Amino acid sequence: MRTVVEKLSHRGHEIVVVVPDISLQFKNFDKFTVKTFSVPYPEDFIESMIKDSSKEVFEERTVPQTIKTLYERVTNSTNWLLTSCKLFLQNETLIKYLEEAHFDVLLSDPAVPCGQIVAEYLSIPSVNFMRGTPFGMDEEASKSPSPPSYIPRLFTGYTDHMDFSQRVKNVVVRLLEYALCHMLYSPYAQVASEFLKRDVTSVDLFSRASIWLLRYDFVFEYPKPVMPNMVFIGGINCVNRKPLNQEFEKLVNSSGDHGFVVFSLGSMVSEIPMHKAMDIAEALRSIPQMVIWRYTGTAPSNLGENTHLVKWLPQNDLLAHPKARAFITHAGSHGIYEGICNAVPMVMLPLFGDQMDNAKRMESRGAGITLNVLDMTPEDLSNALTAVINNPSYKENIQRLSALHLDRPIHPLDLAVHWVEFVMRHKGAPHLRPAAHDLNWIQYHSIDVFAFLFAVLVTSLFISIKCCAFTYRCCCGRKSSRGKSKPKKE
């Protein structure tokens, strides 16, 4: 979101960023007015939470242990987010400041719908900036149909071509999501109802958005029904391409004809267990390409001469280099888009969240290979790298996707800025709001109408049958009574 906010600031808009005082992302951020609210968590809370989850990925556990850990992690983070939200709303000074500032628009990622509560309180239009929300809340709130027959649900790892058993599981997951969605978001509805002093549902909070800026592009996502107030800005993060600094320029230039491989498991994973690091190092030393590996842990002893460990790397700029041959990634959506933008085939080691789905999507398009980081052997990794580098189909496929992705009438950043400013200029976008919002579930699906038509049909059939029966009785009854009376007469 920062790219959009920076461009808005550059265009003369005054930006106020509201974050909890321990927030990691907005430190040293001097371009905007930053307003913070206190939360009773230690300053390194977020960092340590992230570190813990990244460590957990590599721990081998039984299924019950995995469920227990996952439950604890989800409970911890949802509790922390909900507490932060409550403390934000209870911060009278901050709320008063926001009230007096008379904003034109609120821009937020609605995964945590706290911003929506404030926007509702301040009666200002809002813009949702996101890739997706858990459990299909975005589809429900935007009234965007998503047939489970060809739209795979998140965490299933399916593609848009499912066999019967996959479609059954996909529908079951969709049904479960309704329950999970309610569990996850009903506390926010309660907080909102208390704060706004009227009944508010969680769907209300999400559906108030005038525009949905979605980090979507259909070279990556599966084509599906969308709504007129959805704007697709997938690949917006590939904007800021800068020349490489001297250190990296020197490094990549020394890679020779074989070129180099970019390797990063994202900012959330900084260390991995030594035995896994050694497996990876073993694989990397077996390929002729140079490898630039973002890794902050202790260097594995078997590190090849071709492998360079760095604490940080300019991922997008490196991928943009013509000598980039492959990209080893955890398949976060940001990294995937950088791979697509720069047409670099990928070896994907998904770790958690939506990464498995992302990896499956790229694999289904022939643009990369997915490996399970826990099970893979050094051979698996070196074979996968050799394949994506030497088998031309991977490069051709990612080049085709890249060409499709980059061939757009307007850059995603300009599009995002246009629509935020549109909402500011027109105080929302009510003409793009579907009337479906004014219908309940039964009305929306025309269940009342079909029930009525069915009742009419049944009644008509019943009356027709009765009439036929009556006519039949009249005619045949008379006949038979004549028949019966005849013998009497005889």
Alpha-carbon gap, residue 380 to 169, rounded angstroms: 29
What character string, x for contact with its own copies (CB under 8 A) and - otherwise, covers 315-334?
--------------------
Give, in order, the Cα–Cα distances in Å from 31 to each of 14, 37, 38, 312.
10, 19, 22, 24
Of 344, 289, 341, nearest in space to 322 by CA: 344
Helices 114-122 & 63-90, crossing angle to 10 degrees? 20
Secondary structure of 263-313 as H, E, C letters: EECCCCCCCCCHHHHHHHHHHHHCCCCEEEEECCCCCCCCCCCCEEEECCC
Smallest gap, in angstroms, from Cβ of residue 278 to its own copies? 40
Q: What is the CA radius of gyration of the chain?
A: 29
Instruction: Tell whether residue 454 is a contact of its own copies (CB under 8 A).
Output: no
First to last CA, the chain: 102
458 binds its own copies (CB under 8 A): no
Query: What is d(CA 334, CA 236) in angstroms, rounded to the nearest whole number?
Result: 9
**Toward its own copies, which CB reaches closer, 145 or 392?**
145
**Does 160 engage in binding with its own copies (CB under 8 A)?**
yes
CB of residue 281 to its own copies, shortest distance in Å: 37
Under the binding rule (CB under 8 A), the answer on residue 173 touching its own copies is no
Question: Which of 29, 150, 155, 352 touches its own copies (CB under 8 A)?
Answer: 150
**Minimum CB separation from its own copies for residue 328, in Å?**
25
* Residue 211 interacting with its own copies (CB under 8 A): no
DSSP symbol at 232: E
Instruction: Rank residues 278 and 406 by Cβ distance to its own copies and give the closer one.
Output: 406
Regarding 229 and contact with its own copies (CB under 8 A), the answer is yes
CA pair distance 268, 332, nearest whole angstrom: 10
Told to check if 233 binds its own copies by CB under 8 A, we report no
Binding of its own copies by 172 (CB under 8 A): yes
Please count the residues of the chain: 490
Closest CA to 41 of 21, 27, 60, 26: 21
| Shortest reach from residue 144's CB to its own copies, in Å | 6
Q: At closest approach, how far in Å is the CB of 322 from its own copies?
A: 22
Stretch touching its own copies by CB under 8 A, among 9-17, 61-69, 97-105, 158-166: 158-166
Tell me: does residue 171 bind its own copies (CB under 8 A).
yes
- One of 130, 287, 341, 401 touching its own copies (CB under 8 A): 401
Q: Tell me: does residue 432 bind its own copies (CB under 8 A).
A: yes
Q: Quick check: 306 and 284 in contact, CB under 8 A?
A: yes
Distance in angstroms (rounded) separating the CA atoms of residues 136 and 240 = 31
Please name which of 43, 54, 48, 28 lies closest in space to residue 295, comparing C-alpha atoms: 54
- The reply on whether position 435 binds its own copies by CB under 8 A is yes
Only one residue has tokens 């990622």, namely 109
| Among the residue ranges 81-89, 269-277, 375-383, 418-426, the one whose residues contact its own copies (CB under 8 A) | 418-426
Nearer to its own copies, 403 or 461 (CB): 403
Q: Find the binder of its own copies among 31, 250, 425, 466 (CB under 8 A).
A: 425
CB of 2 to its own copies, least distance (A): 21
Tokens of 10: 């550059």
457 forms part of the interface with its own copies (CB under 8 A): no
Structure tokens at 237: 């993060």
Among the listed residues 17, 219, 284, 326, the single contact to its own copies using CB under 8 A: 219
**Residue 348 belongs to what H/E stretch?**
strand 346-348
Beta carbons of 268 and 50 less than 8 angstroms apart: yes
Residue span binding its own copies (CB under 8 A) among the ranges 95-103, 156-164, 180-188, 366-374: 156-164
Q: Is 11 in the site for its own copies (CB under 8 A)?
A: no
Is position 224 an interface residue for its own copies (rule: CB under 8 A)?
yes
Helices (H), 342-445: 355-364, 378-390, 392-406, 412-426, 441-444
Based on the shown chain and the rule CB under 8 A, indicate whether residue 434 belongs to the binding site for its own copies: yes
Near its own copies by CB under 8 A: residue from 31, 241, 250, 426:
426
Does 32 engage in binding with its own copies (CB under 8 A)?
no
Q: Please report which helix (H) or strand (E) contains residue 188, including its range.
A: helix 164-196
Residue 302 CB neighbour total at 10 angstroms: 15
Cα–Cα distance, 400 to 316 (Å, whole number): 19
Longest pairwise C-alpha distance within the chain: 124
Shortest spacing between CB 8 and its own copies, in angstroms: 15
Residue 367 CB, nearest approach to its own copies (Å): 12
- 261 close to 291: Cβ distance less than 8 angstroms: yes
223 binds its own copies (CB under 8 A): yes
Amino acid at 400: R
Q: Does 446 bind its own copies (CB under 8 A)?
A: yes
Q: Which is nearer to its own copies, 160 or 354 (CB)?
A: 160
Closer to its own copies by CB, 150 or 155: give it: 150
Q: Which of 453, 461, 469, 474 binds its own copies (CB under 8 A)?
A: 453
Task: Map residue 427 onto helix, strand or coil.
Answer: coil
Chain residues in the site for its own copies (CB under 8 A): 143-145, 147-150, 160-161, 164, 167-168, 171-172, 218-219, 222-229, 232, 401, 403-404, 407, 409-410, 414-415, 418-419, 422, 425-426, 429, 431-436, 438-439, 443-446, 448-450, 452-453
